């Protein structure tokens, strides 16, 4: 059967695939293209990749043990044998920076995931279910009004030991810090998501989906969530930066990870008195924190620009 | 507007009560002990009596009730008494610090000026740097100033203050000797020389903090200005023949000011969070340092009261932000 | 008529010069007069009150010692020196009663409080009442333990009567921890009212070389010369003003005094030794240290802390719950020999520590235990082999009667302690002992929370480490900690000092004898015997004889640092060389 020639040439174009439109362009392809234009974001991505690779693979490859003390090699400066020098019991600083990076990055990622998860959940429920909106928003306000740093300090001081007893030293402390940072950083995401959900909810395609009887669960999962992803992603990337800085700040105040955990913040804390004797102990962890956070912030900036439809394609 | 204010203030009260309860509950689970820093030559029975005298062994509800009553009734009375020089003996029931066995609010009042001096000045300085920088960056988007400014503010935002503070102390205090390494909280400005000294001892913490504040704020100012500079009314203004300065300052900045000012108001609680770290680094004996040493000494009443005061500040600044927003934006009318 | 540009230049020059002059501060005083001289003392953990009865901390008693004084104090050698008393009472001069139940103090005549009123025996009696009135929670109550009554025989004589013979009667009113308070000032502050008197606690009236100008808790103390001080006629004190500043940390304080010369004295410098050395070499300040009785030691749990025992965990239970291997002296001795104490001192303590093998390190110091001063891994391994404690299953860990030597070793959170733990763990691994390290926040570890399982009183671990010290020279009270009746347990809410749950009838008997013996030579012999008994049971392993480390500016003279009492005990004799 031959196709009947469409009455309206205009409509023909709409119903058939355009013949010479070039390669298939998807949404994420566009985003990536725009992201690539942001030079800072690209550099940030490269640097972050480098840091993650170094901290993940480094400890396996590097020959010094970050936990082995060597009393004969105390307080050495930077040299070929010890590229970042040693600390006051002879442990190699580079090894400790690399393994510390693992923990700092893991905490940053995990805390961010927790915060984003809670925030998205609260935001979606709040925006979608009118009945829950008031209560959830009051809860968000209350959390926003809690003075975070004091509470973080106190909570950590209080529960560090009992959690460590319950779950073992490493897991206990890690979980506690991740939980504490995640539980106090979800509010911004919740507010933003709620706003987006309210906006999307009013759009025609959602109304249409609801009108044909789509179950509410599917409306949320298939229609609303994909459309609120962009602010969530931006939030997530900035959340990593905040989480890393918060963990470092807590460790710096002596209230984060204990001394057997060489996170970057902890290394700064341990090394601050020796800053004149062995400055490398302080400079390198500080640089690592700054560079990682800077890269993440640039990536977040790039993502924000790329996901903003008004900026894309300009 | 007045009704709105009243309504919001009244609504804030249950929030504050809930917060104080949460804070108290968390602290009550404290396994800490105010006698733990005493030398071990003091026998356990003596420590037990000491704790007893502090009220450490009372139940949770008793202690919460006492604290609430002291906070809402006794402390305001004491404040009025002190302002007017009267003395009705209400020191009897004031909130006592377990570390110093003296009223918590007295210590807070002593330290408030220290914190406000350094952090207030750095906050204002940060604004003074950020807003012009953001405006110029937005106006000359993608120019060298913009690129450099963006880079500087990104770096300033990402490098943690405790790192820059540490390095600053070593470079400027120890190696160069330009600034004292010890902050003198009792220093009084009585003449030019003491004023110069005060400036010298404030220079480093203010610089470190101001740069950090400026970094965050300038990015926001820039994006807000950019949004406004793209609007139609700017084009109209130019078409009408308004000079560039007028366009920038009278039209774009005024409209951008609204979100900027509200952001500034929302950052006020951040002052006191920043205080905690900065005062540790620069050895300033302000409220942040009081909180840290109270936590370390398990001085629960001090921690509770300070945390509660920070919470009040957060709620108050949120309220201020909303009010300012309403005042500045003629499109918004509160009922 | 002044030329305009000239006038401007002159004015500018004048202003510049004036500013310079103002910036220069007060002109230096004439030699020996101390005119206009201020000494700045850095107590980085700042005093929170000036009444040592209200707080147990050392810093409070140091700061207070500038203002209020006791009847007698300890000098740098731990010898008693009279302060407000005319002399030290002894059996010879009749100050001590023959049956050792009473001590009579005679006050120095003509001593005035800083408000002009005379010091009388009534003030002394009042001080006893002040600290022993219930409800006050007096932190120094242990100084008045065993006191039956204190009475004023006349305006200048006080007699303290004990409820039994007390060979060591120098508890009450001796040392900066038990100063004399003015009855007129503190009269309304008895018992539960004590805590309301924050004005009095912060600005006590005293007889000392200085009086309080301003006090900010946990921040600064400003003091000026007391014009009614009894040493004024001798030109004491030298300094017009003293400022005690708090805040920051030990390293900052050390740097301030040693390197930058910004302050004159810094207390309690718990800083890594190499850093302190470096600072000292770069400036004109000096590090000083003094030793008294502090010993950082390991306590070996004599009971079984196994979690599976439930409520019986770490309970003494009349000796029916012994530890599977730490009660064996061979194990304890091997553990002690494996430790390189010199290395611990080098890494963590520097001038502030010496290796020690005695739990009572001061005079009379025992010489019977010095084998532990040198690390000897070979001997340790041989000892364990000979005792039949060998590794039977090839996992590198020795077993004793089937129980592997696995140790949980806990202490408070503190960088030096953590480093010590890690080093010791390494050495014990070389003798076939596996160690798990644990550290607990000090406010929890040294606290009394019944709900927390991590207190040193509960001791739910095999070995714990902390520093113990005596109050002044009171060896009797100190060594009494290891008596059987001091064992903490669920029955006494874990309020006992014998955390290792050590039981020895011989020790109890020896200690009771010490409490009855008055002859100094016999006392010394008993003290050495008690020390040896404890150390050779290997239920405690002494590690480091810890001293206090402080620093002072190069131009400060007259410091005789005492770890037995306030470090500022002789501040009236400090001077600054021109």
Residues A32-41: what's their mean pLDDT?
82
Inspect the interface and report whether the beta carbons of B307 and A282 lie closer than 8 Å: no
Token reading at C434 = 């596996």
User: Cα–Cα distance between B220 and B224 in angstroms, integer?
Assistant: 6
Residue A8 placed within a domain: no
CA dist list (Å): C139 to A78, A143, B46: 50, 40, 6
**Which residues in B lie closer than 8 A to residue C262 (C-beta atoms)?**
180-182
SS3 A92: strand
Question: Pick from C383, C406, C382, C380: which is nearest to C393 by CA?
Answer: C406
Answer whether residue B63 shows pLDDT above 50.
yes
Question: Which pLDDT score is estimated for C11?
Answer: 46
- Look up the domain containing C504 and give its range: 292-547
Question: Which pLDDT score is estimated for C13?
Answer: 42
Question: Which pLDDT score is estimated for C21?
Answer: 39
Residue C279 placed within a domain: no
Q: Which of A288-292, B249-253, C17-21 has the lowest mean pLDDT?
A: C17-21
Inspect the interface and report whether the beta carbons of A88 and C440 lie closer than 8 Å: no
CATH number, domain with residue C536: 3.10.105.10
> Which regions of B4-122 does DSSP assign to beta strands (E)?
none
Residue A70 placed within a domain: no
Q: DSSP class of residue A206? A: H
Closest-CA residue of chain A to B33: A158
Residue C566 placed within a domain: no
Residues B52-65: what's their mean pLDDT?
83
Inspect the interface and report whether the beta carbons of A274 and C343 lie closer than 8 Å: no
The secondary structure of C218-259 as a DSSP string is TTEEEEEE-TT-TTGGGT----SEEEEE--S-HHHHHIIIII
Residue A266 placed within a domain: yes
Q: Each residue of B140-171: pLDDT tens digit?
A: 877 888 888 888 888 888 888 888 888 888 88
Question: Which pLDDT score is estimated for C7?
Answer: 44
Question: Which pLDDT score is estimated for C360?
Answer: 94
Site of tokens 């000096």: C286
Query: Which of B100, B196, B288 would best serve as a mutation to test chain C binding (most C beta carbons within 10 A)?
Result: B100
User: Cα–Cα distance between A109 and C374 in angstroms, integer?
Assistant: 49
CB C492 within 8 A of CB C437: no
Residue A149 parent element (H or E): helix A148-167
User: Cα–Cα distance between B37 and B35 in angstroms, integer?
Assistant: 5
Answer whether residue A90 shows pLDDT above 50.
yes
Question: Which pLDDT score is estimated for C221?
Answer: 94
A199 CA: distance to closest CA in chain B (Å): 20
Query: Which of B162, B172, B174, B311 would best serve as a mutation to test chain A binding (most A beta carbons within 10 A)?
Result: B162
Q: B241: exposed, middle or buried (C-beta count within 10 Å: 0-12, 13-18, 19+)? A: exposed
Token reading at C133 = 């009135």
Token reading at C427 = 């050495």
Site of tokens 């076939």: C432
Q: Does C246 touch chain B (CB under 8 A)?
A: yes
SS3 A267: helix
A101 CA: distance to closest CA in chain B (Å): 16
B-contacting residues in C 7-46 (Cβ below 8 Å): 19, 22-23, 42, 46
User: Cα–Cα distance between C525 and C365 in angstroms, integer?
Assistant: 10
CB A267 within 8 A of CB A281: yes
Neighbours of chain B (3+ CB pairs under 8 A): A, C
What domains does chain B contain, in order, with CATH numbers?
Answer: 2-84 (no CATH), 110-328 (1.10.3720.10)
**Which residues in A lie closer than 8 A to residue B293 (C-beta atoms)?**
none
Residue C58 placed within a domain: no
Q: Which of A31-40, A216-225, C246-255, C538-547 has the lowest mean pLDDT?
A: A216-225
A286 CA: distance to closest CA in chain B (Å): 6
Q: Does A135 touch chain B (CB under 8 A)?
A: no
Site of tokens 């030298």: C238
Residue C387 placed within a domain: yes
CA dist list (Å): A262 to A53, A103, A266: 18, 8, 6
Answer whether residue A183 shows pLDDT above 90.
no
Residue C144 placed within a domain: no
Q: Does C261 touch chain B (CB under 8 A)?
A: no
Token reading at A191 = 């507010």
User: Cα–Cα distance between C278 and C262 in angstroms, integer?
Assistant: 17
Residue A18 placed within a domain: no
User: Cα–Cα distance between C107 and C152 in angstroms, integer?
Assistant: 11
Residue C414 placed within a domain: yes
A15 CA: distance to closest CA in chain B (Å): 37
3-state helix, strand, coil in chain B (%, to 5): 75, 0, 20
Query: Which of A270, A276, A279 would best serve as a mutation to test chain C binding (most C beta carbons within 10 A)?
Result: A276
Closest-CA residue of chain A to C259: A276
3-state helix, strand, coil in chain C (%, to 5): 35, 20, 45
Residue A285 placed within a domain: yes
Question: Pick from C542, C437, C273: which is nearest to A89 by CA?
Answer: C273
SS3 C410: strand
Query: Which residues, in sequence order, are CB contacts of C464 under 8 Å at separation 6+?
Result: C298, C299, C301, C409, C410, C411, C456, C499
CA dist list (Å): B163 to A100, A273, A286, A297, B287: 17, 13, 6, 18, 21
pLDDT tier for residue B214 given thresholds of 50, 70 and 90: confident
Residue C576 parent element (H or E): strand C575-576
Greatest extent of chain B over all pairs of C-alpha atoms, in Å: 85
Q: Does B142 touch chain C (CB under 8 A)?
A: no
State the CB neighbour count (10 A cutoff) for residue A189: 26
- Look up the domain containing A134 and give its range: 32-59+86-308
Quote the number of domains for chain C. 1
Token reading at C511 = 């200690």
CATH number, domain with residue A133: 1.10.3720.10
Query: Which of B118, B172, B181, B294 would best serve as a mutation to test chain C binding (most C beta carbons within 10 A)?
Result: B181
Of C247, C452, C488, the CB nearest to B285: C247
Closest-CA residue of chain B to A285: B163
pLDDT tier for residue A6 given thresholds of 50, 70 and 90: very low
Q: Each residue of B310-326: pLDDT tens digit?
A: 888 777 877 777 777 77
Residue A197 placed within a domain: yes
Residue A222 placed within a domain: yes
Q: Does B155 touch chain A (CB under 8 A)?
A: yes
CB C499 within 8 A of CB C299: yes
Tens-of-pLDDT digits for all 578 residues of chain C? Answer: 434 444 445 444 444 444 443 333 333 333 334 567 899 999 988 899 999 998 888 899 999 999 999 999 999 998 999 999 999 998 888 899 988 899 999 999 999 999 999 999 999 999 999 999 988 888 899 899 899 999 999 999 999 999 988 888 999 999 999 999 999 999 989 988 887 788 899 999 999 999 999 998 888 999 999 999 999 988 889 999 999 998 888 888 999 899 888 899 999 998 888 889 999 998 899 999 999 999 999 999 999 998 888 888 999 988 899 999 999 999 999 999 999 999 999 988 988 999 999 999 998 899 999 998 999 999 999 999 999 999 888 888 999 998 999 999 999 888 889 889 989 998 999 999 999 888 887 777 888 777 778 889 999 999 999 998 888 888 988 999 999 999 998 888 888 899 999 999 999 999 999 988 888 899 999 999 999 999 999 999 999 999 999 999 999 999 999 999 999 999 999 999 88
pLDDT tier for residue A279 given thresholds of 50, 70 and 90: confident
User: Cα–Cα distance between B23 and C369 in angstroms, integer?
Assistant: 53
Answer whether residue A312 shows pLDDT above 60.
no
**Which residues in B lie closer than 8 A to residue C443 (C-beta atoms)?**
31-33, 36-37, 296-298
Closest-CA residue of chain A to C277: A277
Residue C40 placed within a domain: no
CB C406 within 8 A of CB C436: yes
Inspect the interface and report whether the beta carbons of A289 and B170 lie closer than 8 Å: no
> ipTM of this complex > 0.90?
no
**CB contacts < 8 A (A, C):** 53
More confident residue, C118 or A25: C118
Query: Which residues, in sequence order, are CB contacts of C270 under 8 Å at separation 6+?
Result: C250, C352, C416, C549
Question: Pick from C501, C549, C459: which is nearest to C265 by CA?
Answer: C549
**Which residues in A lie closer than 8 A to residue B271 (C-beta atoms)?**
none
User: Cα–Cα distance between C350 and C549 in angstroms, integer?
Assistant: 9
**Which residues in C lie closer than 8 A to residue B191 (C-beta atoms)?**
22
Residue C507 placed within a domain: yes
Inspect the interface and report whether the beta carbons of C272 and A273 lie closer than 8 Å: yes
Q: Does A154 touch chain B (CB under 8 A)?
A: yes
Answer whether residue A129 shows pLDDT above 90.
no
B199 CA: distance to closest CA in chain A (Å): 26
pLDDT tier for residue A198 given thresholds of 50, 70 and 90: confident
Q: Does C418 touch chain A (CB under 8 A)?
A: yes
Quote the number of domains for chain A. 1
pLDDT tier for residue B31 given thresholds of 50, 70 and 90: low
Task: State if pTM tops 0.95.
Answer: no
Average pLDDT, whole number, for chain B? 81
Query: Which of A141, A154, A267 would best serve as a mutation to test chain B binding (most B beta carbons within 10 A)?
Result: A154
Inspect the interface and report whether the beta carbons of A153 and B158 lie closer than 8 Å: no
**Which residues in B lie closer than 8 A to residue C477 (C-beta atoms)?**
41
C461 CA: distance to closest CA in chain A (Å): 12
Question: Which pLDDT score is estimated for B70?
Answer: 85
Residues B183-211: what's their mean pLDDT?
84
């Amino acid at each position: 059967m031959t196709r009947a020639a469409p009455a309206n040439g205009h409509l023909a174009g709409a119903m058939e695939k355009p013949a010479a439109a070039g390669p298939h362009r998807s949404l994420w392809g566009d985003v990536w293209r725009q992201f690539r234009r942001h030079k800072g974001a690209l550099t940030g991505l490269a640097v972050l990749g480098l840091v993650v690779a170094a901290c993940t693979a480094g400890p396996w490859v590097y020959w010094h043990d970050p936990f082995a003390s060597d009393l004969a090699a105390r307080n050495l400066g930077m040299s070929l044998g010890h590229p970042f020098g040693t600390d006051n019991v002879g442990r190699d600083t580079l090894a400790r920076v690399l393994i510390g990076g693992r923990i700092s990055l893991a905490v940053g990622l995990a805390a961010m995931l927790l915060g984003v998860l809670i925030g998205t959940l609260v935001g979606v429920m709040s925006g979608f279910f009118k009945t829950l909106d008031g209560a959830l928003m009051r809860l968000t306000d209350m959390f926003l009004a809690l003075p975070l740093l004091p509470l973080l300090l106190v909570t950590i001081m209080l529960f560090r030991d009992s959690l460590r007893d319950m779950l073992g030293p490493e897991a206990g402390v890690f979980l506690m810090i991740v939980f504490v940072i995640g539980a106090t950083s979800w509010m911004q995401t919740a507010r933003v998501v709620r706003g987006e959900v309210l906006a999307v909810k009013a759009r025609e395609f959602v109304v249409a989906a609801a009108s044909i009887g789509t179950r509410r669960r599917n409306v949320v999962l298939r229609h609303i969530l994909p459309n609120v992803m962009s602010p969530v992603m931006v939030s997530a990337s900035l959340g990593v930066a905040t989480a890393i800085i918060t963990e470092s700040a807590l460790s710096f105040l002596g209230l984060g990870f204990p001394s057997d955990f060489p996170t970057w913040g902890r290394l700064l804390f341990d090394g601050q008195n020796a800053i004149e004797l062995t400055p490398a102990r302080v400079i390198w962890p500080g640089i690592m924190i700054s560079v990682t956070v800077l890269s993440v912030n640039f990536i977040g900036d790039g993502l924000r620009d790329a996901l903003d439809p008004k900026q894309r394609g300009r | 507007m007045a009704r709105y204010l009243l309504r919001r203030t009244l609504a804030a009260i249950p929030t504050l009560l809930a917060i104080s309860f949460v804070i108290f509950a968390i602290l009550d689970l404290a396994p800490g002990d105010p006698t733990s820093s005493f030398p071990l030559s003091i026998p356990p029975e003596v420590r037990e009596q000491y704790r007893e005298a502090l009220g450490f062994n009372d139940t949770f509800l008793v202690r919460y009730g006492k604290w609430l009553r002291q906070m809402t009734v006794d402390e305001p009375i004491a404040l009025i008494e002190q302002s007017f020089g009267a003395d009705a003996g209400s020191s009897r029931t004031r909130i006592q610090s377990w570390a110093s066995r003296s009223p918590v609010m007295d210590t807070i009042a002593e330290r408030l000026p220290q914190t406000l001096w350094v952090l207030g000045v750095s906050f204002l300085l940060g604004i003074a740097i950020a807003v012009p920088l953001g405006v110029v960056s937005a106006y000359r988007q993608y120019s060298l100033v913009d690129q450099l400014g963006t880079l500087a503010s990104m770096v300033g935002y990402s490098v943690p203050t405790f790192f820059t503070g540490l390095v600053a102390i070593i470079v400027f205090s120890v190696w160069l000797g330009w600034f004292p390494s010890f902050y003198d909280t009792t220093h009084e400005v009585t003449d030019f020389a003491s004023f110069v000294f005060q400036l010298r001892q404030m220079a480093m913490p203010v610089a470190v903090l101001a740069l950090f504040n400026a970094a965050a704020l300038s990015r926001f100012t820039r994006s807000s200005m950019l949004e406004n500079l793209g609007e139609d009314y700017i084009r109209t203004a130019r078409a009408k023949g308004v000079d560039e300065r007028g366009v920038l300052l009278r039209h774009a900045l005024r409209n951008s000011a609204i979100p900027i000012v509200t952001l500034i108001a929302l950052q006020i609680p951040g002052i006191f969070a920043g205080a905690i770290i900065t005062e540790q680094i620069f050895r300033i004996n302000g409220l942040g340092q009081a909180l840290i040493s109270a936590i370390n000494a398990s001085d629960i009443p001090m921690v509770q009261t300070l945390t509660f005061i920070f919470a009040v500040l957060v709620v108050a600044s949120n309220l201020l932000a909303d009010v300012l927003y309403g005042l500045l934006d003629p499109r918004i009318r509160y009922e | 008529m002044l030329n305009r540009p000239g006038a401007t230049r002159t004015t500018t020059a004048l202003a510049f010069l004036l500013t310079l002059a103002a910036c220069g501060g007060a002109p230096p005083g004439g030699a020996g007069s101390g005119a206009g001289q201020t000494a700045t003392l850095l107590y980085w953990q700042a005093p929170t009150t000036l009444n040592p009865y209200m707080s147990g901390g050392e810093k409070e008693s140091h700061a207070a010692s500038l203002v209020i004084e006791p009847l007698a104090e300890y000098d740098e050698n731990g010898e008693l020196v009279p302060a407000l008393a005319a002399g030290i009472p002894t059996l010879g001069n009749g100050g001590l009663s023959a049956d050792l139940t009473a001590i009579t103090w005679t006050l120095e005549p003509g001593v005035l409080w800083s408000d002009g009123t005379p010091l009388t025996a009534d003030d002394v009696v009042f001080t006893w009442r002040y600290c022993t009135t219930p409800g006050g929670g007096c932190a120094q109550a242990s100084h008045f333990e065993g006191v039956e009554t204190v009475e004023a025989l006349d305006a200048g004589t006080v007699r303290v009567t004990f409820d039994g013979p007390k060979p060591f009667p120098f508890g009450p009113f001796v040392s900066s921890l038990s100063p004399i308070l003015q009855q007129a000032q503190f009269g309304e502050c008895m018992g539960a009212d004590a805590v309301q008197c924050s004005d009095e606690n912060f600005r006590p009236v005293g007889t000392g070389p200085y009086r309080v100008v301003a006090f900010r808790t946990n921040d600064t103390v400003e003091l000026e010369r007391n014009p009614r001080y009894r040493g004024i006629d001798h030109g004491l004190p030298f300094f017009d003003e003293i400022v005690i500043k708090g805040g920051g940390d030990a390293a900052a304080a050390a740097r301030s005094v040693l390197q930058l010369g910004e302050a004159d004295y810094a207390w309690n410098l718990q800083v890594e030794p190499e850093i302190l050395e470096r600072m000292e070499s770069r400036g004109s300040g000096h590090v000083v240290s003094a030793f008294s009785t502090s010993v950082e030691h390991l306590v070996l749990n004599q009971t079984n802390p196994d979690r599976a025992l439930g409520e019986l965990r770490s309970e003494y239970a009349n000796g029916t719950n012994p530890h599977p291997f730490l009660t064996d002296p061979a194990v304890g001795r091997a553990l002690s020999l494996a430790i390189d104490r010199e290395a611990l001192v080098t890494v963590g303590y520097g001038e502030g520590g010496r290796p020690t093998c005695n739990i009572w390190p001061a005079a009379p110091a025992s010489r019977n235990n010095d084998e532990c001063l040198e690390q000897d891994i070979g001997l340790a391994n041989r000892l364990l082999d000979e005792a039949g404690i060998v590794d039977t299953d090839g996992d590198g860990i020795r077993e004793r009667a089937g129980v592997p030597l696995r140790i949980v070793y806990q202490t408070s959170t503190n960088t030096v302690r953590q480093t010590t733990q890690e080093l010791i763990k390494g050495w014990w691994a070389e003798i076939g002992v596996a160690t798990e390290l644990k550290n607990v926040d000090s406010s929890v570890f040294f606290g009394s929370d019944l709900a927390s399982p991590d207190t040193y009183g509960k001791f739910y671990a095999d070995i714990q480490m902390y520093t113990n010290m005596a109050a002044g020279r009171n060896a009797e009270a100190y060594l009494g900690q290891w008596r059987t009746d001091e064992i903490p347990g669920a029955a006494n809410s874990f309020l006992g000092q014998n955390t290792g749950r050590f039981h020895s009838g011989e020790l109890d008997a020896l200690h009771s004898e010490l409490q009855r013996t008055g002859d100094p030579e016999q006392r010394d012999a008993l003290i050495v015997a008690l020390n040896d008994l404890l150390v050779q049971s290997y239920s405690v392993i002494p590690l480091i004889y810890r001293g206090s480390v402080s620093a002072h500016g190069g131009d400060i003279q007259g410091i005789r640092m005492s770890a037995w009492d306030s470090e500022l005990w002789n501040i009236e004799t400090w001077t600054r060389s021109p």
